[in-house]
Structure 1
Amino acid sequence: MDNSHILLPSLLLSLLFFSSKSTAQLSQNYYANICPNVESIVRAVVAQKVQQSFAAAPGTLRLFFHDCFVRGCDASVLLVAANGDDESHSGADSTLSPDALDMINKAKVAVDSDPQCANKVSCADILAMAARDVVSLTGGPFYPVELGRLDGKTSTKAIVKHRLPGPGFNLDELNAVFAINGLAQIDMIALSGAHTIGVSHCDKFVRRIYHFKQPLQFNPPMNQSLLLQMRQVCPLNYSPSTVAMLDSVTPFKFDNAYYLNLQQGMGLLASDQILFADQRSRDTVDFFATNQTAFEEAFVAAVTKLGRVGVKTGGDGEIRRVCTRVN
């Protein structure tokens, strides 16, 4: 049985102190004497962009997650190659939010426009701060962000394959890909909660809503009302640009409704619903569904650990002058 549901808040918070050699340079006050206003500058840009386009909020969380899982948290996902051989042009990253990308680039410009900060703040750190800000601006917790990352110098399409979880993954597959990045099952379940403000394209779940041999049997099962609704949203001749909300109840609020939805069979992706369907993870889903504070604490712990993955140090990284290309 998964006993992670009995973790006390103090234990969840203790996960914040997970350490490794690659994260020794990170600290919450890294820019205190370098660029003391950096967090307020970034937050102002984020707040403006989210007000203009809500899509920037879930898009930024996805951008941060994809960046960290592929090469580590080094903003390599932001690099654009003239020949198209970069992460953003891979199949898994081809639907990254233009609004989120635009926001990070604008935040970089805003930070560098402060004479005290020019060319001193990495794009990787700006992305980490922006991810925190979209969480808090949409109703989630505000938490301290560890800073001090350098930007990576390479980005290729080929490396993305097999680095990211797929929409049809089962629990063992999810745990395996998260474990590679030092994240436990409870971290995976907590980070999945970010889908409370996310969207998905039809191609990621169309196989769940059209099963020709057994039309009303799914593994894991889907709520029938949601099923019929999604068939309206994504007909067989759906447009590749069509999206559906991953949380159909409170899609614009960062809360624990995602887990309540899973209890009702309303997980849009198979990789979401499996968290409740599999007995090994169901207890944690139930715990987060009944205790939003516990979910928020677990999310903060998990996203902090995520932010420590593959941090670049020394000659392995740089502080880019423009987020979309190396210096």
Structure 2
Amino acid sequence: MESYHKYISVTFFFLSLILPLTLALQVGFYSKTCPNAETIVQQVVQQRFAADKSITPALLRMHFHDCFVRGCDASILIDSTSTNQAEKAAGPNGSVREFALIDQIKSKLEQSCPKTVSCADIITLATRDSVVLAGGPKYNVPTGRRDGLISRSSEVNVPGPSFTVSQAQKSFSDKGLTLNDMVVLLGAHTVGIAHCSLFQDRLSNFQGTGSPDPTMNKALVTKLTGVCGSNPNVDPTAFLDQKTPFVFDNQYYNQIKSNMGVLQIDQELALDSLSSTLVTNMAANNVGFGQSFAKAMVKMGSIQVLQGTSGEIRQNCRVLNKS
């Protein structure tokens, strides 16, 4: 009996070493089952980027909002039904777009390799490709995710634009991401846009003071006031990077150091002692920012992923497969 227990203990020990390696995401996951998968994704993204360069921030936002709710499982793509309000219906996801691009990629992949490539991997790959097209870093994306079976609007709880650094850090920490990861990932705002409603108070009535946010550059206040206008029925957008809004670079950090942050959380990054040194480091090294961003994206893309037999490979990213 004693030898039997030793055998069981040794067996479980080796399984504990083997299983994580077996289930880990891996670069080239589809090399045998769908060798052209990444090429297909890249080609469709490239065609769309040629027509609209704003797909880069759109896909970055989609990827971020997907991974922060139930993990990177493409639950953000599922449409609502008469019996379920999906993540798409949640307020923070109202501005998430480019679902049609994901549909187009999925359609081509289904033609080439039916029931093989997950929607979750499509989001991750498409986001990477759009970053590269915008001048960002080239990096390998581990794949092997499977698609989630649950999508509820009530579960959507992502960091907001008026968060303090400490509040945002808590949100990122809950997902296993560090303060450095957070500062680097928010660098995606270098190609981002925001609706005026998300920062309107900073222009005229910051925290009920009746005055603009004193930390915002006065010239920027004037500029954004003109962009946003005074019509409450219209909600225009503004670039978060005032210099190179379509180029993925480190200008975002240089601007928030000069009090040119549009969103409150952006400006807080440069002012808060928790994050100001990291901001300075990113502002001084564009190559270093790119490398750090790539690592942080791969890390974020691994949050609570489904693998093996968990979830499914959706044939239509908007709906669950029929059982």
Q: TM-score, length-normalised on structure 2?
A: 0.89
Which residue matches 2:273?
Answer: 279
Please say if residues 53 and 134 of structure 2, whose CA atoms lie closer than 8 Å, have aligned partners that are also in contact.
no
Cα deviation for residue 241 of structure 1 reads 4.2
Distance 1:287 1:25 in 2: 32
Cα deviation for residue 252 of structure 1 reads 0.5
**Segment drifting more, 279-288 vs 21-30:** 21-30
Secondary structure class of the residue paired with 2:161: coil
Tell me how large the CA RMSD over aligned residues is: 1.8
Cα deviation for residue 236 of structure 1 reads 3.1
Task: Write the letter of the residue equivalent to 1:64.
Answer: H
Distance 2:158 2:20 in 1: 23
Distance 1:207 1:193 in 2: 23
Which residue matches 1:306?
Answer: 300
Cα deviation for residue 24 of structure 1 reads 3.6
Q: TM-score, length-normalised on structure 1?
A: 0.88
Cα deviation for residue 55 of structure 1 reads 2.3
Distance 2:182 2:25 in 1: 22
Which residue matches 1:111?
Answer: 109
Which residue matches 2:95?
Answer: 95
Please say if residues 76 and 152 of structure 1, whose CA atoms lie closer than 8 Å, have aligned partners that are also in contact.
yes
Task: Write the letter of the residue equivalent to 1:101.
Answer: F
Secondary structure class of the residue paired with 1:321: coil
State how 1:26-37 maps to structure 2 within 5 Å: 26-37=25-36
Cα deviation for residue 262 of structure 1 reads 0.6
Which residue matches 1:47?
Answer: 46
Distance 1:69 1:321 in 2: 23
| Count of residues in correspondence between the two structures | 301
Task: Write the letter of the residue equivalent to 1:113.
Answer: Q
**Segment drifting more, 66-75 vs 209-218:** 209-218
Distance 1:147 1:205 in 2: 36
Please say if residues 153 and 316 of structure 1, whose CA atoms lie closer than 8 Å, have aligned partners that are also in contact.
no
Residue by residue over 1:41-94, the C-alpha shift from the partner in whole angstroms, topping out at 9 and shown as x without a partner, is 000000111111222221001000000001100000000022360111100101
Cα deviation for residue 216 of structure 1 reads 4.7
Please say if residues 193 and 259 of structure 1, whose CA atoms lie closer than 8 Å, have aligned partners that are also in contact.
yes
Distance 1:242 1:88 in 2: 21
Task: State which structure, 1 or 2, has the greater radius of gyration over its C-alpha atoms.
Answer: 2
| 1:80 aligned onto 2:117 | no
Which residue matches 1:7?
Answer: none
Cα deviation for residue 21 of structure 1 reads 5.6
Residue by residue over 1:157-200, the C-alpha shift from the partner in whole angstroms, topping out at 9 and shown as x without a partner, is 1000xx21001001110100000111001100000010111110
Secondary structure class of the residue paired with 2:238: strand
Distance 1:22 1:67 in 2: 25
Which residue matches 1:135?
Answer: 131
Task: Write the letter of the residue equivalent to 2:213.
Answer: F
Task: Write the letter of the residue equivalent to 2:293.
Answer: F
Task: Write the letter of the residue equivalent to 2:136.
Answer: G
Please say if residues 190 and 250 of structure 2, whose CA atoms lie closer than 8 Å, have aligned partners that are also in contact.
yes
State how 1:183-222 maps to structure 2 within 5 Å: 183-211=177-205, 214-216=209-211, 218=213, 221-222=215-216
Which residue matches 1:232?
Answer: 226
Cα deviation for residue 313 of structure 1 reads 2.7
Distance 2:154 2:293 in 1: 30
Distance 2:196 2:107 in 1: 34
Task: Write the letter of the residue equivalent to 1:153.
Answer: L
Please say if residues 201 and 240 of structure 1, whose CA atoms lie closer than 8 Å, have aligned partners that are also in contact.
no
* Closer, same or farther: CA 145–244 of 1 in aligned 2, 3 Å: same
Please say if residues 63 and 72 of structure 2, whose CA atoms lie closer than 8 Å, have aligned partners that are also in contact.
yes
Task: Write the letter of the residue equivalent to 2:39.
Answer: S
Cα deviation for residue 154 of structure 1 reads 1.1
* Closer, same or farther: CA 200–239 of 1 in aligned 2, 3 Å: farther
Task: Write the letter of the residue equivalent to 2:250.
Answer: N
Distance 1:23 1:226 in 2: 52
Please say if residues 150 and 317 of structure 1, whose CA atoms lie closer than 8 Å, have aligned partners that are also in contact.
yes
Cα deviation for residue 95 of structure 1 reads 1.1
Cα deviation for residue 316 of structure 1 reads 3.2
Which residue matches 2:11?
Answer: none
Please say if residues 202 and 238 of structure 1, whose CA atoms lie closer than 8 Å, have aligned partners that are also in contact.
no
Please say if residues 202 and 240 of structure 1, whose CA atoms lie closer than 8 Å, have aligned partners that are also in contact.
no
Task: Write the letter of the residue equivalent to 2:105.
Answer: A
Distance 1:245 1:37 in 2: 35
